[in-house]
Structure 1
Amino acid sequence: MEFDENLSNEPLSPEQERLWFLDALRPGRPDYNVGQATRYLGALDVSVLKEVVADLAERHGQLRTVVVSREGIPHPKLLDPSRSTLRVVDVPPGIDPAGLVAGPISAQMAEPFDLSTGPLAEFTLFRLAPDDHVLFLRAHHVVVDAWSLGIISRDLYAMYDARVKGDRSAPFAVDMAYPDLVRRRAEHELKAAGSRERTAWVSTLGGIPRGELPAEPSAPRLAFDRQVIGQAIPVSFSAERVAALRELASGHRASLFMAMLSVMDILVLRHGGREQFLLGTTLANRSSVGAPDVVGLFANTLPVLADCSGDPTFAELLVRVRDATIDLLDNQDAPFLGLLQSLGEERIPGRNPLFDIEFTLTHVDAATPLALPGVECIGVDVPRPRHGAKFDLAWELTERDGIVEGCVEFDSTLYHPESIRAFIERFDRLLDAVIDNPDRRVSELDMLSPAEMSDLLRQATGLALPSAPVLLHDLFAAQALRTPDAPAVIDGDAVLTYRELDERANALAHLLGEEGVSTETPVGICLPRSAAMVVAVLGVLKAGAAYVPLDTSYPEDRLRFILEDSGAHIAITDPTHDHLVLGHAMPIYVSRERRPIPPVRVTAPGNLAYTIYTSGSTGRPKGVEVEHRGIAAYLLGLQDRIPLHAGDRVLQLTPFGFDISVTEMFWPWLAGGATVLAPANAREDVGLVAETCLTHRVTAVHCVPSYAPVLADALRDQADEPGMRVMLCSAEALTDTVMQAVYAQLPGIELYNVYGATEASVDSTVWRHLPGHPGPVEVGTPLPNTSIYVLDAAMNPVPSNTVGEIYLGGANVARGYLARPGLTADKFIPNPHTTDGTRLYRTG
C-alpha cells in the first residue's frame, strides 16, 4: 500500500477527530456508514464510468483518504489513486432492485470500515441486465458528509458527460483541497475561540440541562457497557402541511427548519417539564471560502438552546428559536470537543455529551443523486445500518420537492417502537395545532389525541363504588351490631369487644357533651397507644367533634402549638400525661363507664372527623382537616381492593400523630376483625413487635419499606409459620431488594405498595407485587372513589412515563388546612377534568 507522505503530518478536522475517537471507543460498528445509489436504465458506458470514478478520486482526495494513528494521534493519509476503482458485480437472475437493496447493498452497508486501511469510499456497479444497472457508493462519514454527496453527483455527471463526448483531458482541479481548509479553519478558530461573540454564545449554553423524551422505566441509560441497538421509524409530512408551516415561519423571518425545531421544542417541553434545555442539530458548516465545492466532512453537530420559559405563544417561541439558530450558525465551526472543554462538560458513561436528542432537517435539490446523461436515472433508497444509534433519539429529516420525509432513529434499549410512534403522533398533532393557531400558548396546544386523553383520564379514576357518604364512627357501629362480642381492640392482655368499646365510647361522648362539645368542636387526645386512646377516638367522633392527635412523644412546645392552633380547649388524657396539656386545655380522663346509647348529635358526612398536623419539616406544622366522608371513602375503597375478614387482626404500630393510625384502627373493624396495639415503646424493638404479632396472631401490618425486611426476619426467627398474610408499604421507595428479602422470610405474604397524602385521607393508590413477575415497582392504580392525575403546569394530563406533578382527587380529598385559606386555595383546587365540583390536592 502506498501513501502520500506529504499528508502524514496533517491534522484531522475537529469533526474527523471526533468520529475517529468514537470509532476507537467502539470499533467494528457501521453507525457512520453513508450510502447512495441510483438505477440506470439504458445504454450505460461502463468503461467510461470506470474512468470517471478514478478521476473523482484524483480530484477529491478525501475519497482515497484513510486515518492512521501515530503515537496515539490520528493523521490523514492518501491511498494511491489506483486503489480507487469501480467494482462491477453481475447480479444473479431473478433479483430485482428491491432484492438488491435488501440483499447485497444492505449487507455492504452493515459492514464496518477499518479507518486505517480503507478505502473509505467504494463504488460498486451492480449489473441487473445489459441495460439495467445500479451504481452504489458506500463511504464512511469521516471522509464525506451529505453535502459531499451532492458534489460527487455533480462532478460524476460532468465528467461522464465530457468523456462520452470525447473530452479525455485530466479532471479539473478544485480551488482548495480539504487539508487546506482544515488548516485555515484551525487558524480562524484560534482567533474565534476567545472572541467576545464566541464567549457570549458559549455562556448561553452553560448549565442548561439536556432535553429528554422519557425512556422506558427499565432502560439501562447509564450503563457504560450497554449494547446499543438502533432502529428507525419513517416519518413524512405532506407538501400542504410543509407549505403552511413555511408560510407561518416566513411571517416571522424564520425558516422551515426553525419552525419544525420549535415544534420539537414543545414536544420535549411537554414530556420533560424543563423550560430550558439543549437539543443537538447538524449543520452543513460550509461557510468558508471554497468549502462548498470540496468533498469532505464539514458537517458539525452542535447544541442549540431551547427556551420555552414563561409559557410563550408558538409565534413567540419561533422568534426565540430563530435567534438561537442564528447564534448557532454564527458559531457553526466551533469544534465540538473544544465546546465541551469550554463548558466543563463531564462525560457520563452511556450518554452523549450535552444532548441526547438530535433534530436535523436537510434540504435536497430535486436532481437525482449520481445522475448521468443519456440514461434514465432513478434514485434508490439505501437503508442505513441499524447496528447502533448515534443518539438516544435522532430526527433525521430531508426536504425534497416540498415534502419532508425521513426517519426517527432511536436506541431500542431505551425506547420501545410504540413509544417512538406515540412521540411522532404527538409531534404531528402539535404541528397541526401551531399551523391552526400560532398565537396559542405552548401549554395550550393539543398534543394528545382524544382517544389518548380519554384513556389517561380513565386510568386516573378509580372504580366508582355505589355507596352514600357515611360517618367514620358509623362504620364501626354497624359492625358492633353484627358482631358485638367479637374482639375489637387487643391491648396486651386486655381485650375490648365491639360492645365494650362501643359502650365506653358512648359514655365518653356523653361526658364531652356535658362539657359543651358539639359538632366539629376540636378535642385533643393526649394518650399513649392504649385501649383508652382508641376509646377516646371513638368517643370524640360520637360526640360530633373532631379529634386532634397529641402524640405524647412530641416536645411540649409542639403540643402547645397544636393545641393553640387547633383551638382545642379540651384534651382527653390521663394522670401521667396531663401535665402536657394543663394550662392550655381542660383535661378529661377516660373512665371505664359504659353506656349503651350514644348521645344524639347532628353530624353530617361533610363534618370534620379529625385534624392531623403535618411534621412541619418544610415550615410550621399545618393542620389538615379531614372530613368523615373522605376518610370513610378511603377505608371502604381499601377494603374493596384488599379485603380483610373477621379473623384478621391489624397491628396498630404507627404513631398516633400520623394518619396511618386511622387505617390500623378502623380497617379491621369493617370486617369484624381487631386492631392489635403494639406496646407503646415497641417501635424501636422489632423483637417485641414480632412477639406481639405472634402472640395475638396479627395478619396485616402497615410499615415503611425499610422496616419490612427487618420485621419479616424477626417474625421468622420466632415462628416457622408467622401467620402474617398482608403487608402494606408506603412513605419510602419500595425496592426489589426489599421485596425479595420479605418474600424470603414470608413467602406467602401479599405485598402492596400504597401511595397517598394526609391531605387525601391517607392513601389514594395501591399496587400488589406478584412474586416471579419482574418489572418496575409501581405507584399503583386509584382506590375506588379516588383519582390520581399526573399533570403539567397547564393542568394537562401528561402521557405515561412522563414528568408531571401528581394531583390527588376524589371523595377522599381533605377540606383543607386549618386557618390557612391562602395555602388551602393554592393546594386544593377545582378539578378541571370533571364537572361534579370535586377538587384536587396538588402534592408538589
Structure 2
Amino acid sequence: MSTDVDTLPLSAAQEAIWLGQHLAPTSPVYNTADYVVIDGEIDPGRFEAAVRSAVAEADCLHARFHLVEEEPRQSFEPGRWRFLLVDLSAEAAPEAAAKRWMHGDMRTPADLRTGPLFAQALLKLSDGRWIWHQRIHHIAVDGYAFSLLVRRVADLYSTDGGGRPFDPFQRVLDFERSYLDSERCAADREFWGEYLSGVAEPPWIGHGRTDGIADRTERAVVPVPARRVEPWLELATAVGVNWTELLIASVAGYVHRVTGVGDVLLGLPVSARLATPLLHVPAPVSNIVPLRLPVDPAASLSTLAMSAAAELKRTRRHHRYRQEHLRRDRRRADGPERLFGPVVNVLPFDQEFAFGPHRGRMVNLSAGPVEDLSVGFRGSAAGLRLEMDGNPAGHSASGLRRHGDLLLRLVDEAVREPDRPLGRIPLADRPVRRPSPVRRPAPDVVALIRARAADRPGATAVEQDRRCLTYAELLARADLLADGLRRRGAGPGRLVGVRLPRSPDAIVAVLAVLISGAGYVPLSPDAPDAYVEHLPRITVEDGLLLSGHADDGPPPERSARGTDIAYVIHTSGSTGRPNGVMVPRAALAGFAVAAVERYGVTGNDRVLQFSSLQFDASVEEIFVALCSGAALVLRTAGMNESLDEFRRATARFGITVLDLPTAFWHELVAAGGRLPGSVHTVIIGGEGALPSRVAQWARLAPGIRLINTYGPTEATVVATAADLHPSGSGRP
C-alpha cells in the first residue's frame, strides 16, 4: 500500500470477517456467490461495459486491507481486473458444465491485501441462454448488496447508463459512528441484555461441537412445489400471521424436536437498512439478531407461529444493534459463547431482473460461512427452494437433505392437522399421509389463476411475438369480457364457442368463459359452417358463439360448481359428424393441479402453447402454465416453417417447457439438432415413442427431462405419464 493513500477504519461487520480471514488467509470460505440466468440473446460487449461501470461505482469492491500500527485499515484502490467470457455451448450439458465451473471458481481464495475481492464472468450456454456469475468476498458485500449490483447492471445494460448510481461506503461508517454515539444504541444494548438474560447456550444440530469455521460450506437443496406450499399459506392466513412467521416457527419447532430444548434461540438475518441512508450502498450492512422462542410440545404450530409474530414485533425496533457488539457484551457478562443456534432466512420473493427485453433470474450459489446450520427459504407461492447449509465438520450433504425432508414433513403434518401438538407429530421414516383428493378437491382453475395473479400481478401471463399480457392484465380483460357474456346469457350449464385464431385474445376469451360460469368450446376459425351448425347458438359476435335454445330461459343465478362443464372437445366421429366430449370443472382442476406437480412447472417457467385450441393438448399447455404462474408463450405462424426455425424461435422466446405431439418430436430428434439450453422439460403424447428415438434423444439432450403421456379425451387430457430413459425404464 502506498503511504500517501488515505485509509479508513473497518465497519463492525468487516472487522469480524477480516479477523476470520486473517486467521485462515488461504481459506475460500468467505467467498459468496450469486448467478443470474438470462434467457435471450445478450450482447457480451455491452454487458461487460455495464458490469465494469457498476463495479467502478461500488467502492467497497476495490478495498485493500492492511495492518496500520496493529489496527486493520482499508483503502479503496481500483485496479485492473478480468471480465471472463466462457463459451460452454459446445458442452453436452452446458448448464451442468456451468455449475461445475462456478463451484470451481468458488474455491479461489481472495487476498485481502492485494485483491481483487471479486470475479465476474459471463457463461454462454447457447445463443439464447447465458449465466452471469459473480463471486465476491463477504468483506465487501452482503446478500442485499448482490441484488443492488444486479439491478444496477440491469439498468446500465437496458438504458445505456441510466438509473441511480451507488452511494459511497463512507456513509456506512458515518451512520455506524452516529448510531454508536446515540441514545438509541444504549437503549438497544439494554433491551438485548434483558432479552437474553438467563438463556442457555444453544445446542449444536450437527454431530458434536465444531471448532470454528471450516474452509467450505456443505449445501443440500430441496425443491418445494407450489402445490405443497399453498396449504401453508392457507394456514398462515387463517392464523393471522404471514408465511415468514409461519416458517420461522416451523424451524423453531423442528429444532425443539431434534434437540429437546424448550427455549429455542434462532439467528434471524435482517437487512439493517430500512429507514437509513444505506439503501443504495453495496456493502456488508446486514445483521443477524437472536430470536428467542419458547416451544411447548403440547402447543400447535399455529400457536407457535403467533408467538413468533409477537417476538418479531417485540424485537424489530432493536435490530440495528449489531451481533458483533452483542457477542462482546455477552463475553463481558460471562454469558454463553454462542449467540444463537440455527440461522433461518426467509426470502419470500422471486429475484427477477430485466436485461433489455430479456429476463434474468438470480440464484444464490453460496452465502458464506456457517457456524452450524443455516436454513434458507427462497421463492414464493409459485414454488420454494429450501437451502440447507451446514458446517461440514458436523453435517454431510445427505444429512442436510434429511434435515430438510424432516422439516418439511413437520410443516406438512402440522398444516394437515392444525390443532395437533408439535410433540405428537411423527417424524419417523414412514410415508407422510396426504389428504385424499376426494376429501380435499382441487380449487377451480379460475381460483388458481387468480391466486397466481395475486402473488405476481406484474409477471408475464401470455405472450405472442411482441404482444404481452401480465397476470393482472389477463384477469382484468377476462373479467370485463365475462361480464358481457353474462349479460348475453352465459352462465353455468351454457356453452360458449371460441372461434378465434391462436392469440392472446383467444386465451382471454377462454378464461372469460370459465369466469362467467359457462363452458368453452374451441372451434377453428376456418371450420365450415356445416360443422359449426351442430352447435345450436343464440348469438354470434367477436368470435364467440353462445349455445343453447331461445326457450331455455336464463342460466341459473349461482356460482359454477365442479360438476358444471368446463370445456367440450369435439372429435370427428366415424360418420364425420362432430362428437363432443364434455369435461367438468372439477376434472379440469384436478388435472391442472396434478400436472403442475408431476411436470415440475413453476412460476419461473415459459411454456410453449403449440397445439391448436381444438385439441385437448392445448388444455394441458394453457392451464398447466397459468395455474403455476408460468408464462404461456403462444406459437407464432412462422415457428413451424422448418425445424431449424422452431429451434431458433424456442431459443428466442426463452422456452423452458415444450409440450409436443410425439410425431413432431420424432421429426425433431431425427433431424439431429440440439434444443436451446433454456429448455429443461419436454412433454410428448398422442402416440407411442419409438425406442430408437428415445436412445437418440438421450445422446442429443442428456440434461433435458422427457415425459411421455397418454390419455383419451374422455379422461381429461392425460391418464398416464412416465419419464423416459434410453434403457426403456421410466418413472410412472
Match of 2:235 in 1: 248
Partners of 2:300 and 2:414 within 8 A in 1? no
User: Structure 1 97/327 Cα, relative in aligned 2: closer, same or farther at 3 Å?
Assistant: farther
Could you tell me how far 1:64 is from its partner in structure 2?
A: 2.2
Match of 1:212 in 2: 203
> Which residue of 88, 104, 109 maps to 1:107?
104
Q: Tell me how far apart the structure 2 counterparts of residues 42 and 310 of structure 1 sit (CA, whole Å).
A: 51
Q: Structure 2 counterpart of 1:393, which letter?
A: L
Secondary structure of the 2:405 match is: helix
Q: Tell me how far apart the structure 2 counterparts of residues 197 and 267 of structure 1 sit (CA, whole Å).
A: 29
User: Structure 1 89/237 Cα, relative in aligned 2: closer, same or farther at 3 Å?
Assistant: closer
Structure 1, gaps ≥5 residues long? 454-844
Q: Tell me how far apart the structure 2 counterparts of residues 237 and 130 of structure 1 sit (CA, whole Å).
A: 30
1:384 aligns with 2:366: yes
> Which residue of 274, 298, 303 maps to 2:261?
274
Match of 1:362 in 2: 347
Secondary structure of the 1:292 match is: coil
> Which residue of 169, 173, 177 maps to 2:168?
177
Q: Tell me how far apart the structure 2 counterparts of residues 158 and 3 of structure 1 sit (CA, whole Å).
A: 37
Q: Structure 1 counterpart of 2:349, which letter?
A: V
Q: Structure 2 counterpart of 1:289, which letter?
A: T
Q: Tell me how far apart the structure 2 counterparts of residues 47 and 416 of structure 1 sit (CA, whole Å).
A: 41
1:147 aligns with 2:127: no
TM-score, normalised to structure 1, is 0.47
User: Structure 1 415/52 Cα, relative in aligned 2: closer, same or farther at 3 Å?
Assistant: closer
Match of 1:49 in 2: 47
Q: Tell me how far apart the structure 2 counterparts of residues 148 and 57 of structure 1 sit (CA, whole Å).
A: 12
Partners of 2:37 and 2:129 within 8 A in 1? yes
Match of 1:614 in 2: none
User: Structure 1 405/341 Cα, relative in aligned 2: closer, same or farther at 3 Å?
Assistant: same
Partners of 1:30 and 1:109 within 8 A in 2? yes
RMSD over aligned Cα atoms = 3.4
Partners of 1:231 and 1:389 within 8 A in 2? no
Partners of 2:28 and 2:216 within 8 A in 1? no
User: Structure 1 3/328 Cα, relative in aligned 2: closer, same or farther at 3 Å?
Assistant: farther
Secondary structure of the 1:262 match is: helix
Q: Tell me how far apart the structure 1 counterparts of residues 408 and 128 of structure 2 sit (CA, whole Å).
A: 43
1:161 aligns with 2:162: no
1:306 aligns with 2:289: no
User: Structure 1 78/428 Cα, relative in aligned 2: closer, same or farther at 3 Å?
Assistant: same
Match of 1:420 in 2: 400
Q: How does 1:555-566 map to 2 (within 5 A)?
A: none
Partners of 2:352 and 2:362 within 8 A in 1? no
Q: Tell me how far apart the structure 2 counterparts of residues 379 and 353 of structure 1 sit (CA, whole Å).
A: 36
Q: Tell me how far apart the structure 2 counterparts of residues 131 and 442 of structure 1 sit (CA, whole Å).
A: 48
> Which residue of 75, 78, 95 maps to 2:76?
78
Partners of 2:202 and 2:338 within 8 A in 1? no
Cα displacement string for residues 543-571 of structure 1 (whole angstroms, at most 9, x for unaligned residues): xxxxxxxxxxxxxxxxxxxxxxxxxxxxx
Partners of 1:212 and 1:357 within 8 A in 2? no
Q: Structure 2 counterpart of 1:111, which letter?
A: T
Q: Tell me how far apart the structure 2 counterparts of residues 61 and 272 of structure 1 sit (CA, whole Å).
A: 44
Match of 2:356 in 1: 373
Could you tell me how far 1:193 is from its partner in structure 2?
A: 6.2
Q: Tell me how far apart the structure 2 counterparts of residues 99 and 443 of structure 1 sit (CA, whole Å).
A: 42
Cα displacement string for residues 348-367 of structure 1 (whole angstroms, at most 9, x for unaligned residues): 9xx97323421111233351
Secondary structure of the 1:291 match is: coil
Match of 2:331 in 1: 344
Partners of 1:125 and 1:134 within 8 A in 2? yes
Match of 2:114 in 1: 117
Of residues 443-452 and 105-114 in structure 1, the stretch that sits farther from structure 2 once superposed is: 443-452
User: Structure 1 310/367 Cα, relative in aligned 2: closer, same or farther at 3 Å?
Assistant: closer
Partners of 1:89 and 1:127 within 8 A in 2? yes
Partners of 1:41 and 1:377 within 8 A in 2? yes
Q: Tell me how far apart the structure 1 counterparts of residues 315 and 71 of structure 2 sit (CA, whole Å).
A: 29
> Which residue of 319, 327, 341 maps to 2:306?
319
Q: Tell me how far apart the structure 1 counterparts of residues 199 and 9 of structure 2 sit (CA, whole Å).
A: 32
Of residues 131-140 and 270-279 in structure 1, the stretch that sits farther from structure 2 once superposed is: 131-140
> Which residue of 14, 17, 23 maps to 2:15?
17
Could you tell me how far 1:54 is from its partner in structure 2?
A: 2.6
Could you tell me how far 1:62 is from its partner in structure 2?
A: 1.9
> Which has the higher relative contact order, 1 or 2, with Cα contacts under 8 A spaced 6 or more apart?
2
Q: Tell me how far apart the structure 1 counterparts of residues 416 and 4 of structure 2 sit (CA, whole Å).
A: 59
Match of 1:527 in 2: none
Q: Structure 2 counterpart of 1:13, which letter?
A: S
User: Structure 1 329/131 Cα, relative in aligned 2: closer, same or farther at 3 Å?
Assistant: same
Q: How does 1:720-759 map to 2 (within 5 A)?
A: none
Secondary structure of the 1:295 match is: coil
Larger Rg: 1
Q: Structure 1 counterpart of 2:356, which letter?
A: P
Cα displacement string for residues 502-528 of structure 1 (whole angstroms, at most 9, x for unaligned residues): xxxxxxxxxxxxxxxxxxxxxxxxxxx
Cα displacement string for residues 159-190 of structure 1 (whole angstroms, at most 9, x for unaligned residues): 12222xxx6x8x8544x423213321331133
Match of 1:233 in 2: 220
Q: Tell me how far apart the structure 2 counterparts of residues 222 and 37 of structure 1 sit (CA, whole Å).
A: 30
Partners of 2:351 and 2:361 within 8 A in 1? no
Q: Tell me how far apart the structure 2 counterparts of residues 129 and 310 of structure 1 sit (CA, whole Å).
A: 53
> Which residue of 416, 419, 444 maps to 2:424?
444
Q: Structure 1 counterpart of 2:291, which letter?
A: V
Could you tell me how far 1:332 is from its partner in structure 2?
A: 1.8
Q: Structure 2 counterpart of 1:34, which letter?
A: T
Cα displacement string for residues 84-132 of structure 1 (whole angstroms, at most 9, x for unaligned residues): 5533345584365324324432211111111222121322233566776
Q: Tell me how far apart the structure 2 counterparts of residues 130 and 259 of structure 1 sit (CA, whole Å).
A: 42
Match of 1:286 in 2: 273
Match of 1:61 in 2: 59
Partners of 2:140 and 2:283 within 8 A in 1? yes
Q: Structure 2 counterpart of 1:296, which letter?
A: A
Could you tell me how far 1:2 is from its partner in structure 2?
A: 7.3
Secondary structure of the 1:5 match is: coil
TM-score, normalised to structure 2, is 0.53
Could you tell me how far 1:429 is from its partner in structure 2?
A: 2.3
Q: Tell me how far apart the structure 2 counterparts of residues 405 and 237 of structure 1 sit (CA, whole Å).
A: 6
Match of 1:753 in 2: none
Alignment identity in percent?
18
Match of 1:202 in 2: 193
1:330 aligns with 2:322: no
Q: Tell me how far apart the structure 2 counterparts of residues 44 and 214 of structure 1 sit (CA, whole Å).
A: 44
Match of 1:798 in 2: none
Could you tell me how far 1:434 is from its partner in structure 2?
A: 2.3
Q: Tell me how far apart the structure 2 counterparts of residues 413 and 42 of structure 1 sit (CA, whole Å).
A: 41
Secondary structure of the 1:426 match is: helix
Q: Tell me how far apart the structure 2 counterparts of residues 34 and 227 of structure 1 sit (CA, whole Å).
A: 14
User: Structure 1 43/447 Cα, relative in aligned 2: closer, same or farther at 3 Å?
Assistant: closer
Match of 1:5 in 2: 5
Could you tell me how far 1:244 is from its partner in structure 2?
A: 2.7
Cα displacement string for residues 549-597 of structure 1 (whole angstroms, at most 9, x for unaligned residues): xxxxxxxxxxxxxxxxxxxxxxxxxxxxxxxxxxxxxxxxxxxxxxxxx
Secondary structure of the 1:66 match is: strand
Q: Tell me how far apart the structure 2 counterparts of residues 313 and 90 of structure 1 sit (CA, whole Å).
A: 53
Secondary structure of the 1:115 match is: coil
Could you tell me how far 1:373 is from its partner in structure 2?
A: 0.7
Q: Structure 1 counterpart of 2:51, which letter?
A: V
Q: How does 1:704-783 map to 2 (within 5 A)?
A: none
Q: Tell me how far apart the structure 2 counterparts of residues 43 and 270 of structure 1 sit (CA, whole Å).
A: 49
User: Structure 1 440/153 Cα, relative in aligned 2: closer, same or farther at 3 Å?
Assistant: same
Structure 2, gaps ≥5 residues long? 434-732
Cα displacement string for residues 124-169 of structure 1 (whole angstroms, at most 9, x for unaligned residues): 2335667764322211122122212222222112212222xxx6x8
Match of 1:618 in 2: none
Partners of 2:21 and 2:30 within 8 A in 1? no
